[in-house]
Amino acid sequence: METNRIEYKLELTKDLDLEKEVIAFLNYVEGGVIFIGIDKNGHILGVSDMDGDMLKIKDRIKHNISPSAMGLFDVVSELIDGKEIIKIIVASGSEKPYFKKKYGLTEKGCFLRVGTASEPMPQPMIDKLFASRTRNSIGKIKSNRQDLGFEQLRIYYEEKGKPLNNQFKRNLELQTEDGLLNYAAYLLADENNNSIKLAKYNGDNRVELIENNEFGYCSLVKATKSVLDKIEIENKTFATITSKERKESRFWNSIALREAIINAFVHNDYTRELTPKFEIFDDRIEITSAGSLPEGLTESEFFEGFSIPRNKELMRVFKDLELVEQLGSGIPRILQYYGKESFQFTENFLRMTLRKNQLKSSTLSGGQTGGQTGGQTGGQTENVTLQLSDRQLEVLNLISTDLKITRKQIAEKLNINESAIQKHINVLIEKQIIERIGTYKGYWKILIIE
């Protein structure tokens, strides 16, 4: 049934009724969803021209609504009960009031969601919203450089089969109203002065810095991909050997980690001339972006996936390049793997802390015997969490893959000397994770049993 956030339409009509519903959700604090192919009673009838209708919807929203709604909506197809319908996801806009270009800032042009209906917005409300409209955005701030190149952006669009034409700066809203390049263009240009820091520490605090990577000074898309690639390397796979199988896990859930990184880039408040920061510790990764919750969005709405894109120009480009999927899907996707306590809001920053998966095992107690290979004798198992360094996990992974591997072979694979390898092996033996059976022609025994 229809709600304050859901609107059903049987078909796409030629009048401006669709625009009215989109505008109402843009002006509504929570945004909303419009379904085409479902009648007012909720009966699913489907649409006959899926591709054609989707193109018309995108074109109408682009050309008939002001301010620009690009980056604030998604048009996707869904299959329900064997019938194809169209789903239009609309985010709450930050430049209210939105209106039909044909009628301007009048009660005929502005609408607001009231209950399950889209009602004309009273003129006093229109005037008040317009007077307080957010103008301090990366789309309205003029770039301090106008000699910007966009070859990197061109390459990324060509890779997705979407080559940029000569009007791309205007089409992607990289210009101010007077035709100058804006701050969004500056962020996406081949060269800029924005540095992206990625630090790695030894331990669980910031005392001992062991890596200080610096990305940036390039297109924000390229910087994003560089950070994703670097953290993908850091997100190592480790193995848990059970009595029946070898299970592989990663330090962090890959889906949630990717969403957290991209969320930090897209929703960072660049008007403060600050960039996202990424920090890796032994037990966690911290991702910090400038700017707290967008105005008008509560924490509960944030966690439910309501979306008010802070930088709609960046959102548009990241969606074009398939770095972002549907609007409002990122936070719910992170919450599938990490709790709400992973998010910390302050007046000026949002920090996501993703705890590292620890290698869990069951140690043998009681009458364990050295020659036993399939289980345990006597006693009970006790669940513990093994605190191992990255290098010790790498050694354990190699041993679990090849129980006959030698210390020399491990050293060659990890490109470090044998004496260092022996120290890591000694730790694994002391923690009763592995055991050496035999000498020169012996083999390793894994003592991790779930």
Rounded CA separation 163/21 (Å):
32
Mean pLDDT for the stretch of residues 174-201: 95
Question: Does 95 reside within a domain?
Answer: yes
Token pair for 304: 């439910």
- What is the C-alpha to C-alpha distance for residues 241 and 256, in angstroms, rounded to an integer? 25
Q: Report residue 420 CA to chain centroid gap.
A: 38
Average pLDDT (336-361) is: 86
- Domain count within the chain: 3
Per residue in 383-406, pLDDT tens?
A: 444 567 878 888 888 888 788 899
**Alpha-carbon span 418 to 409, nearest angstrom:** 9
Percent of the chain at pLDDT exceeding 90: 61
- Residue with more model confidence, 36 or 393: 36
Q: How many beta carbons lie within 10 A of that of residue 184, not counting itself? A: 28
Domain shared by 229 and 345, yes or no:
yes
Range of the domain at 318: 195-355
Q: Give the CATH number, domain containing residue 238.
A: 3.30.565.60
* Token representation of residue 99: 């209106």
The pLDDT value recorded for residue 449 is 45
381 is written with which tokens? 């198992």
- Reply yes or no on whether the pLDDT at 375 is more than 80: no
Q: 11 with 93, same domain?
A: yes
Residue that is last in its domain, among 131, 146, 171: 131
**How many Cβ atoms from other residues are within 10 Å of residue 198's Cβ?**
21
Does residue 207 sit within a domain? Answer: yes
Catalogue the E-assigned strands of 121-245: 195-201, 209-216, 237-241
Whether residue 328 is predicted with pLDDT greater than 60 in this model: the reply is yes
**433 shares its domain with 299:** no
Q: Could you give the CA distance from residue 329 to residue 315 in angstroms, rounded to a whole number? A: 13
Distance (Å, whole) CA 17 – CA 7: 12
Q: Residue 439 belongs to a domain with what CATH number?
A: 1.10.10.10
pLDDT number for residue 360: 47
Is 371's pLDDT higher than 70? no
Helices of type H across 93-150: 123-131
Per-residue pLDDT at 358: 60
pLDDT of 300 strictly over 90: no
Q: Which residues contact 174 (CB under 8 A, 6 or more apart)?
A: 168, 181, 182, 184, 185, 188, 313
* Range with the poorest average pLDDT among 91-105, 191-205, 265-279, 425-439: 425-439
* Same-domain check for residues 383 and 351: no
C-alpha distances in Å from residue 244, one per residue of 238, 241, 370, 373, 448: 17, 8, 19, 12, 11
204 and 62 fall within a common domain:
no
What single DSSP character describes residue 97? P
Q: What is the mean pLDDT of residues 335-361?
A: 86
217, 254, 214, 219: which is closest to 233 by C-alpha? 254
- Residue 122 · residue 13 · CB < 8 Å: no
Same domain (yes/no): 240, 342: yes
Bigger pLDDT: 108 vs 131: 108
Residue 108 lies in a domain: yes
Question: Is there a cis peptide before residue 309, judged by omega within 30 degrees of 0?
Answer: no
Q: What is the overall mean pLDDT for the chain?
A: 86
Q: How long is the chain?
A: 450
What is the full DSSP assignment across 307-347? ---S-HHHHHHHHHTTSS-STT-HHHHHHTTS-GGGEEE-S
Mean pLDDT confidence for 60-71:
92
Q: Which two tokens stand for residue 315?
A: 């959102």
Residue 126 pLDDT level (bands cut at 50, 70, 90)? very high
pLDDT tens-digit profile of 266-286? Answer: 999 998 889 999 999 989 999
Cis peptide before 332 (omega within 30 of 0): no
Q: What is the pLDDT of residue 340?
A: 94
Residue 403 Rama label (left phi>0; alpha psi -120 to 50; beta): alpha
pTM for this predicted structure? 0.69
| pLDDT level of residue 369 (50, 70, 90 thresholds) | very low
Q: Is the pLDDT of residue 326 over 60?
A: yes
Residue 206 sits in the same domain as residue 62: no
Strands 32-36 and 6-9: parallel
Q: Find the mean pLDDT for residues 127-155.
A: 88
Quickly tell me which residue has 């990663």 as its tokens. Answer: 250
Mean pLDDT to the nearest integer, 153-173: 96
Residues 6+ apart with CB under 8 A from 75: 54, 57, 58, 86, 87, 88, 89
Rg (CA), the chain: 27
Q: In Å, how far from its chain's centre is CA 86?
A: 24
